[in-house]
């Protein structure tokens, strides 16, 4: 409850973009550069349904520098 998607030491990744997708591939969150650990599991201010979502944390200058994985939202 009240959790945030947190990237440790996010301040060292100033040239990265975070994108979060649902299982249908729809972008539910995107923040270009300087992500500040504020995504709270909402889409346009509405809490997302329980389920698995996928993230891509990618360097804007070099697309080969990326982190990817999944996030589970539980209710």
Q: Tell whether 57 is covered by a domain.
A: yes
Question: Is 20 a domain residue?
Answer: yes
In a domain, 63, yes or no: yes
Asked whether residue 24 is domain-assigned, the answer is yes
Domain ranges, residue 58: 10-73
What does the pLDDT average to over 65-71?
91
Q: What pLDDT does 54 receive?
A: 97
1 within some domain: no
Q: Is residue 42 part of a domain?
A: yes
pLDDT digits (tens, 9 = 90+) for 9-37: 877 777 888 999 999 999 999 988 777 88
Write down the pTM of the prediction.
Answer: 0.83
Average pLDDT, the chain: 87
Give CA 65 to chain center in angstroms: 16
Local confidence band at 48 (pLDDT 50, 70, 90 cut-offs): very high
Q: Is 47 among the domain residues?
A: yes
The rounded distance, in Å, linking the Cα atoms of 29 and 12 is 21
Residue 61 within any structural domain of the chain = yes
- Decide: helix, strand or coil at residue 24: coil
Total of domains in the chain: 1
């Amino acid at each position: 409850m009240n959790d945030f998607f947190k990237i440790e030491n996010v301040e060292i990744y100033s040239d990265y973009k975070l994108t979060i997708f649902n299982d249908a591939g729809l972008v539910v969150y995107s923040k270009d550069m300087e992500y500040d650990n504020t995504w709270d599991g909402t889409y346009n201010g509405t809490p997302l349904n329980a389920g698995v979502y996928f993230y891509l944390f990618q360097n804007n200058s070099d697309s080969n520098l990326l982190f990817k994985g999944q996030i589970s939202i539980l209710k």
